Structure 1
Amino acid sequence: MAYETRYCSHCANPLRWITAAEDGGDVARLRCPACGWTHWGNPTPVLAAVVEGDDGRVLLARNAQWQEGVFGLITGFMEAGESPEAGVCREVLEETGLRAKSLRLLCCSEFLRMNQVLIAYHVRVDGLPGDVRLSPELLEYRWQTPEESLCWPAGTGYALAEWIKQKGVEPRFGAFRPGQNPEPDPQKWPVRYWDQDPRFVVAPQLG
């Protein structure tokens, strides 16, 4: 079920689509006609972890709400008061029982369908493959090599593909669920970093 904001959180009046001047020009947003409060609808930060063990395999897990055979990355919402780095380590520990011993930023991307911004990390963990202890949200898990892994052309699937590519393996894509388009979006894959965007100029190193 999809939820939407319908009432002002300040005065409880119904919101309406109202166009108003902003820094970038006139923009229509849900606004309160009584007190002027604006529902910005900013995307929610979601953390994703490509969890790698010492043997070079990646951990994929199946959410309890997903159909059989569908596996994905370890993900979770960033909490108030924590950094993205602390948040992704917390999520990995909570969801798998494994402690992160090193991490690096892998990529960031938008996930418009869910109004989210995905912040993905490559996380190396302590422990053996059999040490995984799943949270109640997850039903089962598997460890896969980069060659065995099939990426999905949406959301966190591109983060997994980027990790596989950095391992020197050509990523393979397939539908996340039956009936979905198995081909990656050319606007999202390959991952394009800001310093590869012609609109920006890479600043010189400070001496």
Structure 2
Amino acid sequence: MAAPKERLRCPACGWTHWNNPTPVLAAIIEMTDREGQVLLARNAAWHGRMFALITGFMEAGESAEQGIAREVLEETGLRVDAPSLVGVYDFQRMNQLIVAYHVAARGEIRLSPELAEYKLFRPEDLRCWRAGTGYALADWLTTRGITPQWLEPPAQPAETGA
């Protein structure tokens, strides 16, 4: 049995900060009017050229399916059809639990200001990343009969003696 975990507790009122993982919704958006290409986007706050799934948080009172439909609409201007659960994934580095969906969408893509750009990829051209939503993408590709291809981590600079 594991030892009890230490928690942050307010000495004045006794309130406990549990630090439970935050659920995050993620969408694999398949564009049905663009030969089934998958939309990946780059967050405006990110440096470099990393493109990823559309993600966001649930609002109080909505289901996960409603939340992913709202997030996709807010961030891309696209309405989705029939969200289907891909899986639930651990993302401990960010203390998150990712709930990933596949959604079909069509129409004009209009990015929100939080996204800088998007790219469309044929499913067989996608490259998965070994963190968070990358595992969801790999699982979805596998269900389509596509062997996931993995991005190699960037090379670390060699250490030099001082």
Q: TM-score, normalised by structure 2?
A: 0.88
- Quote the offset at 1:116 in angstroms: 0.9
- Quote the offset at 1:133 in angstroms: 0.5
What is the RMSD computed on CA atoms of the aligned residues? 1.6
Paired residues for 1:1-207 under 5 Å: 26-54=4-32, 55-127=35-107, 131-175=108-152, 178-179=154-155
User: In 2, are the aligned partners of 1:29 and 1:38 still within 8 Å (CA)?
Assistant: yes
AA in 2 matched with 1:64 = A
User: In 2, are the aligned partners of 1:51 and 1:59 still within 8 Å (CA)?
Assistant: yes
User: In 2, are the aligned partners of 1:101 and 1:126 still within 8 Å (CA)?
Assistant: no
AA in 2 matched with 1:113 = R
Structure 1 residues 64 and 175 mapped into 2: Cα distance closer, same or farther (>3 Å)? farther
Distance 2:3 2:42 in 1: 44
Higher RCO (CA < 8 A, seq sep 6+): 2
- Quote the offset at 1:69 in angstroms: 2.1
Rg comparison, structure with higher value = 1
User: In 2, are the aligned partners of 1:89 and 1:99 still within 8 Å (CA)?
Assistant: yes
Distance 2:109 2:37 in 1: 13
Q: Which runs of 5+ in 2 are unaligned?
A: 157-162
Distance 1:179 1:114 in 2: 23
Equivalenced residue count is 153
Q: Which runs of 5+ in 1 are unaligned?
A: 1-23, 181-207
Q: Secondary structure at the match of 2:90?
A: strand
AA in 1 matched with 2:140 = W
